Amino acid sequence: MGRPVFLGKAYVNWCGKCNVPLIGDSCAVHGKEGVFRLNITPPGDLRFAFERDIEFIRSVFEEHYGVDVGEIFDGKIVLLNKLPSEDDAYEVIVDGYVFGYVKFDPLELRWRAGLKVEGATALWRLYGREMKKWVIADKGAVEPIRNGANLLAVGVLDAEPSIRVGDEVVIVSEDGEVFATGIAKKDYKALIRGERGTGVKPKRQKTVRYHEGRKATLEDVLRANSIELERKVEEARHFMRKTANRHSNLPVAVAFSGGKDSLAVLGLVLEEFGKGFTVFFNNTGIEFPETVEYVEELRGELEPKGIKFIVADAGDAFWRALYVFSPPGRDYRWCCKVTKLGPITLAIKENYPEGVLMFVGQRKYESIKRFKQPRVWRNEWVPNEIGASPIFHWRAIEVWLYIFSRKLPYNPLYERGFDRIGCFLCPSASLAEFERLKREKPELWEKWFRALDYWRRRFNLPEEWITSGFWRWKRLSKGEKVIASKLGVEIPEERSWEPVRVEIGETPEGYELEFNTLLNKRRLLEVAPILGEVTVEGDVVRAGEVEFLTGTRKARAPNEEEAWNAYYLVKRAYECVGCGVCVGKCPENALSIDERSKKIVVNPELCTHCMDCMEVCPLLKIKNPEEGSQL
């Protein structure tokens, strides 16, 4: 599942005097005095913890350790660093050290907590034996453990009674010093009896930097980072000026999703260009209601200032397409084509037929694919758009510092614990995010659950296909196979759904096709020009070199290539969901979407049979996971 983006070692600088994180190597208040480096887990895409995040962290730690960690965080700047993991996991950073982590367990569908030595020290000093999950080690075991040895059960002098096998525990010396944390390999009774073998397997931690820092506010963070932040802002603005000058023939636009990254880009474009640009918002039809409302409020504020807003609205396209494609997956991202690329392509073609320069909030820290992508690119799916990312090199902490420094109004969902803002049922979301969706927005989860349950029953799958998130893959990943095995459930390695199917056989005259559905003459005539000149003799529709015997299930083609083209045409005729990707791609403007049927129709007078529309149709191209996952 999650793997770190390769960007080398990750770290954050910290001003010990201000007790705040730094995005550069010096503090705007104290210079380099008291500044130190804290190593963190790559890729190091840090963000600030909101009040709701801290409440959540307190609850997870209290469930495991039995005490409230709130006093340690009170009045401090707390950071979250997303970790590569089977599901969601975050390092929790305070006072310039990693306090511990929270991690979602995809088997038990619940959050777990763990402490680093610094966090354990802070809790032990505050609560001592009042907290849970501790063991007292014999003084003779301290040095061996520090040098890499396990803590044998015979070396345990005392332990807290709630300890179970697999628990995160704190290891304390006889003289009351926390010197390690680890995983219990025996339960409390076995530890106390001193049973033979390893009692606790310590975690290796090379350095320990525990100290209590002063209280700090967001204003302190902004002040300490003011110089470096403005340097980054100026670099981003310079990049935009240079890019806009290079493409001076294209109007400037911003792709706005309602999330933090696109908000930062919108703010930068406002600073650099002032007005005279366009904001594109893609309403996928599966957005959070709060996002749609937030965008409308922003629109009402910016339009009077000379900024044009264009909403590319997918309407109910997702829900119609769902019953053609089956549920989307991380390796089966038809939803992006149908709800994003199609509507955006149509909106750009309608408003800016000569093209547009689109500034987007894409960052290299988000994924390996994005890390490898250039800062300026041309989208093969949206031919008249050049994309460019001013914040490509920014981390999340820098995005938030910019938003806070400019007092930009951000999506209220962030303060409700949502880390990513987008389609509420995105297959790229984690199980933890879906658990949050169930809790925070039960009406949205119920709508999606009903749709998933329809497919679960149709595929004859167990309930875990939904509850454990296996629906998020068309072909199960290795990690998902392991989880299925541990849960003891049978999930097919790959699910297949093809509403229109065909059998192709070779004959002495060429190839014969037999479909699983009758060929409708009227519908075929609406799309047949794609294959070539169309002639009709009774119920036989001839398109190029292919003959369709309408009213039957049969077609004829002279060779295998044309046979497959005939299948693709029928598939597009019947399964089209009106996404509009092909409409935007057509160089002759020969395609349109019928308002009533929501399916493509071809103008035979304009169509040149170039078949470019075949090359971009999600019904055909989505079968390739790589192409299906690109945006």
Residue 472 has which token pair? 């998020």
Q: What is the pLDDT of residues 220-258, one digit of tens each?
A: 999 999 999 999 999 999 999 999 999 999 999 999 999
pLDDT of residue 622: 63
pLDDT of residue 3: 45
Element (H, E) at 284: none
Q: What is the pLDDT of residues 459-505, one digit of tens each?
A: 999 999 999 999 999 999 999 999 999 999 999 999 988 889 999 99
CATH 3.40.50.620 intervals, the chain: 225-416
Q: What Å distances lie between residue 539 and 264, 536, 550, 570, 609, CA to CA?
A: 59, 7, 5, 16, 22
Calpha distance 1→87 (Å, rounded): 7
pLDDT of residue 369: 67
Q: Check pLDDT > 50 for residue 412.
A: yes
> Taking the chain, what is the end-to-end CA distance rounded to the nearest angstrom?
20
Decide: 181 and 202 in contact? Cβ < 8 Å. yes
Q: Check pLDDT > 70 for residue 597.
A: yes
The count of other CB atoms within 10 Å of the CB of residue 630 is 16
Choose which CATH entry (3.40.718.10, 3.30.70.20, 2.60.130.10, 1.10.3720.10) describes domain 502-628: 3.30.70.20
pLDDT of residue 627: 32
Give the strand order in the sheet containing 97-105. 46-48, 79-82, 89-94, 97-105, 110-115
pLDDT of residue 621: 72
pLDDT of residue 2: 44
pTM of the predicted model as reported, rounded to 2 decimal places: 0.91
Find the mean pLDDT for residues 57-80: 98
Average pLDDT over all residues of the chain: 93
User: Which stretches within 216-367 are classed as H helix?
Assistant: 218-224, 226-246, 260-273, 289-302, 317-325, 334-336, 342-351
Residue 64 has which token pair? 């495991």
Q: What is the pLDDT of residues 520-544, one digit of tens each?
A: 999 999 999 999 999 999 999 999 9
pLDDT of residue 371: 66
Q: What Å distances lie between residue 491 and 154, 425, 487, 508, CA to CA?
A: 44, 21, 11, 43
Q: What's the number of CA atoms in the CB half-sphere (13 Å) around residue 42?
A: 11
Residue 398 has which token pair? 């820098």
**pLDDT-derived band at 417, boundaries 50, 70, 90:** very high
The count of other CB atoms within 10 Å of the CB of residue 452 is 18
Q: Which amino acid is residue 629, in one-letter code? A: S
**pLDDT-derived band at 162, boundaries 50, 70, 90:** very high
**Between 451 and 618, residue with greater pLDDT:** 451
Q: Check pLDDT > 90 for residue 383.
A: no
Q: Check pLDDT > 90 for residue 410.
A: yes
For the structural domain made of 225-416, what CATH number should be given? 3.40.50.620
For 42-80, the DSSP string reads TT--EEEPPHHHHHHHHHHHHHHHSS--HHHHTTS--EE
∠ CA 260-350-305, nearest 5°, is 50
The count of other CB atoms within 10 Å of the CB of residue 565 is 21
CATH 3.30.70.20 intervals, the chain: 502-628
